[in-house]
Amino acid sequence: MSDHTALSGTPIGSLDISGHGDDTALRPPRTLLVAAGAWAAAGVVTLFWPNIQEFARTSDLAVAQWIVALLLVVGYALHARLGKVGRWFGTNAARLAGLAVLLSIWQIASAKIGLWPQPYIPPPQGVIDAYVTDWKRLVDSVAASLVLLSTGIAAGAAAGFVTGLATGWTRKVGYWTNPVLRLIGPIPATSLIPIALFLFPTSFSASVFLVALATWFPVSVLTWSGVASVDSSYYDVARTLGARQRFLLLKIAIPGSLPHVFVGLFMGLGSAISVLVAAEMVGVKSGLGYYLDWAQGWAAYGHLFGGLLVMAVLFSSLTTLLFRFRDRLLIWQKGEVQW
């Protein structure tokens, strides 16, 4: 922002664009200092504003907030030398400041004035306490969820890709798969949880089936539409160049449909996650969904919020991973949605 004020007095004719560019690259953004101030202030609020009742780890949280403030000051001082990390701090400085403000609002509303009822909405230190005392169980839950999710998604995506490809490629297969897809596909996988739990020998296999089913539908429909959307002139060109059926399928239909397939995978991941968590809350005795259910049962609300936060980070990371994979595989595309 300060760059614009510095420029406002400069006549346009004498504007040195390259010099200006270097200048912004070298000068660390002031917002970093604003963010540092916000975090330091948040620490002060946490430690020196008396709590309405006893909350564990209040001072630990204050120290942690000051450490963040210190890191931001260091980030400001060493901005040029930190390279990529420095740039990350620069871009996200305003967001980090906003986070400090949000934490303070939460802190004040829960622990300082009791606006939010206790123990249902514990202050941030309540979540930290849950992590410190219960990290082992959380790690186990994350691992259990990931194993279930990856097994189910791998099976569902593979089955969906094959179904979609066959439906789009051969009319004979499409004749049979089309009604199945149209009838079974739109059923929310969560509604099948009760049936799956008694049809399958273990709750693990039941959940893998549900996750696979939730992934299968969007992946098959979008693979199908992807194959159907490949321009027929691509096949004409390849045929005049000597391509046979196998080549047309493997080298034209599949790469041509991949952009759609990834949309299907993205949608499949979303519904797979939601059925996974639901299944874990209802019948499976492990995983993050089970952890949430357990925390609620014991009125361990810090653990509940902690579990939710872990879920948010985990599932967001999985989505990011999927998009990274797509960007790498579909490097020839341009102008796609950025995640």
197 binds another protein (CB under 8 A): no
331 binds another protein (CB under 8 A): yes
Three-state SS string across 141-155, please? Answer: HHHHHHHHHHHHHHH
> C-beta of 241: minimal distance to another protein in Å?
4
328 binds another protein (CB under 8 A): no
Task: Tell the burial category of 125 from Cβ atoms under 10 Å away from its Cβ (0-12, 13-18, 19+).
Answer: buried
Question: Burial letters for 178-187: b for 16+ Cβ neighbours within 10 Å, e otherwise?
Answer: eeebeeeeee
Cβ contact 153:272 at 8 Å? yes
3-class DSSP state of 300: coil
**Distance separating alpha carbons of residues 303 and 296, to the nearest angstrom:** 8
Cβ contact 244:218 at 8 Å? no
Nearest CB to another protein, comparing residues 253 and 311: 253
Identify which range of 31-39, 220-228, 241-249, 288-296 contacts another protein by CB under 8 A: 241-249
Nearest alpha carbon to residue 280 among 120, 140, 93, 119: 140
> C-beta of 319: minimal distance to another protein in Å?
23
325 binds another protein (CB under 8 A): no
Nearest CB to another protein, comparing residues 172 and 334: 334
**Distance separating alpha carbons of residues 163 and 26, to the nearest angstrom:** 54
Token pair 């996750």 is found at 211
**Distance separating alpha carbons of residues 324 and 330, to the nearest angstrom:** 10
**Distance separating alpha carbons of residues 172 and 96, to the nearest angstrom:** 56
Among 238, 267, 308, 322, binds another protein (CB under 8 A): 238
Among 256, 267, 270, 319, binds another protein (CB under 8 A): 256
Identify which range of 85-93, 168-176, 287-295, 324-332 contacts another protein by CB under 8 A: 324-332
Nearest CB to another protein, comparing residues 256 and 270: 256
Among 214, 252, 253, 277, binds another protein (CB under 8 A): 252
> C-beta of 242: minimal distance to another protein in Å?
4
Among 71, 94, 109, 243, binds another protein (CB under 8 A): 243
294 binds another protein (CB under 8 A): no
330 binds another protein (CB under 8 A): yes
> C-beta of 220: minimal distance to another protein in Å?
21
Which residues sit at the interface with another protein, rule CB under 8 A? 231, 233-234, 236-244, 247, 251-252, 255-256, 258, 330-334
